[in-house]
Amino acid sequence: MNGQTPDPELAALFAQTQGISGSEFSGSVMKEVTSRRYRRIALRLLPGFVFAPFLPDVQTFAIQLVELLMTSLVIVEGDVIAQLLAPINTVAGALSISLLVLRVAYLRVFLRG
């Protein structure tokens, strides 16, 4: 034994099958393990089937949110300057800078006194 604690479900399964002969024991254990495996697979697939009808709406919302966040705040005429200012000339850039300033203010007021 490698010092690990046994699986509680497996220990309960072995406790249920005590007193059964060898071939019946192995057959019942394998049958129960197989059914538990299929049950776990079904429980993992179930949320996918439940939420699948909503995925197109979620994707549409995500695309619209990205388009909103990438909207330029100021129109810049020069191509090079527009490329250089692109990270901070968007709604997302302004939002991230304002959240950073808010965090710094919070830390200075409440944590450092």
The pLDDT tens digits of the residues spanning 2-34 come to 557 677 777 777 777 777 777 777 787 788 889
Residue 2: what pLDDT? 58
Residue 39: what pLDDT? 93
Distance (Å, rounded) from C-alpha 64 to C-alpha 68? 6
Instruction: Please list, in sequence order, all residues whose beta carbon lies within 8 angstroms of the beta carbon of residue 25, skipping any fewer than 6 positions away.
Output: 17
> Model-level pTM greater than 0.85?
no
pLDDT tens, position by position, 41-91: 999 999 999 999 999 999 999 999 999 999 989 888 888 988 888 888 999
Residue 59: what pLDDT? 95
| Cα–Cα separations (whole angstroms), residue 81 to 84, 88, 90 | 5, 12, 14
